[in-house]
């Protein structure tokens, strides 16, 4: 099986995924596939209900950024040694993406060293990283200062330091609760859910002229 993410050299048509038709996330997966952000498995499925790992999530968020080759080389000079030293060689497929996320401030070296990259990522952590990718960290801090109040029935389960980030995403229509008005901060994130979050994030960027 190949990963959720694809290089620019691979072209996959979303319509070819045998398990896509009729799924609630069909439109999101289709858009990301058309953009070249993701691909499926060798058996012709995309497995929308399969969880996404922290490494896959980081690599996907790095796609918000595009730099010229010389800038990419500068980023590698700054972060390449760190990534090669501390990240498992089995994840070398994501080295460039990880370096990009470090350069963009999506996560820090300290956070990266403590993160289990091959484990499923929790929804609240993915939300925080997405806010950073969208460069909305200052807005999240402002909401905390203003005493933001989330209305999810499980708000108490969300880390206090993350609530401003969650509020930013809610306010911009990027995330929402489930049919029980739960955010489920510690739930593992499926491919369908992350596709929805990323597409809505891209729509926000476009609306802002980015």
Higher pLDDT, 90 or 40: 90
Under a CB-based contact definition with an 8 Å cutoff, are residues 64 and 133 in contact? Answer: yes
Identify the pLDDT of residue 6: 39
Q: How far apart are CA 200 and CA 27, in angstroms?
A: 11
Q: pLDDT tens for residues 92-130?
A: 999 999 999 999 999 999 999 999 999 999 999 999 999
Q: How far apart are CA 148 and CA 143, in angstroms?
A: 5
Give 15's pLDDT tier (boundaries 50, 70, 90).
low
The tokens describing 187, both together, are 């739930």
Q: pLDDT tens for residues 47-104?
A: 889 999 999 999 999 999 989 999 999 999 999 999 999 999 999 999 999 999 999 9
Q: Is the pTM of this model over 0.85?
A: yes
**14: pLDDT strictly greater than 80:** no
Under a CB-based contact definition with an 8 Å cutoff, are residues 163 and 190 in contact? Answer: no
Q: Which of 4, 34, 35, 38 is nearest to 121 (CA)?
A: 4
Under a CB-based contact definition with an 8 Å cutoff, are residues 94 and 55 in contact? Answer: yes
Q: How far apart are CA 208 and CA 192, in angstroms?
A: 25
Helix axis angle, 137-145 to 163-171, nearest 10°: 110
């Amino acid at each position: 099986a190949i990963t959720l993410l694809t290089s620019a050299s691979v072209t996959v048509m979303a319509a070819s995924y045998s398990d896509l038709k009729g799924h609630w996330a069909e439109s999101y997966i289709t858009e990301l596939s058309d953009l070249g952000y993701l691909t499926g498995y060798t058996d012709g499925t995309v497995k929308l209900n399969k969880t996404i790992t922290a490494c896959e999530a980081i690599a996907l968020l790095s796609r918000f950024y595009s730099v010229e080759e010389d800038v990419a080389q500068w980023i590698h000079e700054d972060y390449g040694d760190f990534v090669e030293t501390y990240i498992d060689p089995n994840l070398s497929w994501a080295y460039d993406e990880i370096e990009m996320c470090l350069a963009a401030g999506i996560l820090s070296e300290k956070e990266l060293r403590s993160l289990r990259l091959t484990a499923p990522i929790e929804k609240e952590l993915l939300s925080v990283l997405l806010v950073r990718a969208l460069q909305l960290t200052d807005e999240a801090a402002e909401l905390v200062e203003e005493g933001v109040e989330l209305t999810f029935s499980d708000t108490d389960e969300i880390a206090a330091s993350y609530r401003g980030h969650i509020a930013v995403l809610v306010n911009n229509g990027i995330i929402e609760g489930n049919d029980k008005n739960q955010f489920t901060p510690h739930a593992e994130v499926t491919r369908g859910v992350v596709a929805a979050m990323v597409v809505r994030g891209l729509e926000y960027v476009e609306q802002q002229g980015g």
